[in-house]
Structure 1
Amino acid sequence: MKYLLLCLLVISISFAVSGQDKKIVQLRKAPALPYPFSPGVISNGLLFVSGQVGTDPQTSKLVLGGVETETAQTIQNIKLVLEDAGASLDDVVSVTVYLSNMDDFAKMNTVYKQFFKEGTYPARTTVGVAKLVFGASVEMTMTAAVAPQKK
């Protein structure tokens, strides 16, 4: 029964997304990176922000200072994508956090909660990984609810 419900959910999502418009978020407040992905994509009233790490938007180099500094910069980078899409952290409904060292969970969490209002935290998953791009300690991706795009 669970398998059938999962299949129906996947089919429903596929049907809802197929044929729908999508809008690519173009960064205006940070330099474009030469990688084959979009910083964000809006589809069906949701903004999907690509994974971000704690790089300085001006130099594209990882900030120094450990997981706390990287976490703050990562969220600041995501805020740039959200703002360019007409959204804010208040619109975030889901976050996925990737940590290269799960021992950094408490440090990341201390910084993370400074960016969101208590009682309205987004849904979140934290995953331990072996390695992140640029040798980063933390990477995040977020999904936000946005106003539907006009056709």
Structure 2
Amino acid sequence: MSQRNVIQTTFDEFGRAAFTTKKSGSRHRQSAETIVVLHLQKSNYGPRYYVNVAVWLLEAGPATAPKPWECHVQTRLGRVVPRGVDDRLRELLDLDAPIADDVRREELLGVWREHLLPVREAAATLNGLRSGDGLRLVQASLVNGEGQRLLAGR
């Protein structure tokens, strides 16, 4: 079994605390209206990672553990965080960046707590996805046709 690096172990730590289930490498948190999905994706081109954020709208139909690419709303966390934070997040998620493991862990947890938790909470309802942090998530995302219809209230 391969040894997990600091990004993977920090993602696991955050995921256990902030999401309720894990399946196929993704973390899920279900509410009455949505399932929020968090997924750590490794780049094919080096020791770099991306955090994918996705939302399944339960009004469209039941799901238990949707994959991020199956969801109605899909994006990368770097598109949701403010300018400047996205640059630092990109560095933190790149193992080639010269950052000490303890610093990388603490900063990743800080960014995820500050920017991902509010998005997760907003994405728990359709109304939450229509304003504030939820709307910011939707505007930074690929939203499929069914998702657009449901978010428009049709």
TM-score above 0.5, yes or no: no
Bigger-Rg structure (1/2): 1
TM-score (ref. length: structure 2): 0.28
Higher RCO (Cα < 8 Å, 6 or more apart): 1
**Higher normalized strand content (fraction of residues):** 1
Q: Give the helix-richer structure, 1 or 2.
A: 2
